[in-house]
Amino acid sequence: MPVRTRVTVPLEFPDGYRATAEVVTFTSLSDGKEHLALAFGDVAGAEVPLVRLHSECMTGDVFGSQRCDCGPQLREAVQRIAETGGYLLYLRQEGRGIGLYAKLDAYALQDTGMDTYEANRALGHADDERDYTAAAQMLEALGASTVDLLTNNPDKSRQLRDLGVDVRTVQPTAVHASPANVRYLQAKVAHTQHTIDLASAS
Measure Cα distances from 127 to 8, 43, 99, 124, 175 in Å.
36, 34, 13, 10, 21
100 among the known binding-site residues? no
95 among the known binding-site residues? yes
Note whether 71 and 61 are within 8 A (CB).
Answer: yes
Give CA–CA dist 195/173, Å, rounded. Answer: 9
Catalytic residue among 80, 130, 131, 162: 130
52 among the known binding-site residues? yes
Give CA–CA dist 140/54, Å, rounded. Answer: 17
142 among the known binding-site residues? no
70 among the known binding-site residues? yes
> Which residues does residue 21 pair with via DSSP β-bridges, in sequence order?
9
194 among the known binding-site residues? no
Note whether 169 and 126 are within 8 A (CB).
Answer: no
54 among the known binding-site residues? yes
Mention every residue, 6+ apart, whose C-beta is less than 8 A from residue 89: 35, 36, 37, 38, 51, 52, 53, 54, 135, 138, 139
Is 80 marked active-site?
no
Note whether 92 and 98 are within 8 A (CB).
Answer: no
151 among the known binding-site residues? yes
Catalytic residue among 61, 69, 128, 148: 128
156 among the known binding-site residues? yes
99 among the known binding-site residues? no
Is 127 marked active-site?
no
Q: Residues marked as binding for Zn(2+)? A: 57, 68, 70
Q: Residues marked as binding for GTP? A: 52-56, 73, 94-96, 116, 151, 156
Catalytic sites, residue numbers:
128, 130
Q: Residues marked as binding? A: 52-57, 68, 70, 73, 94-96, 116, 151, 156
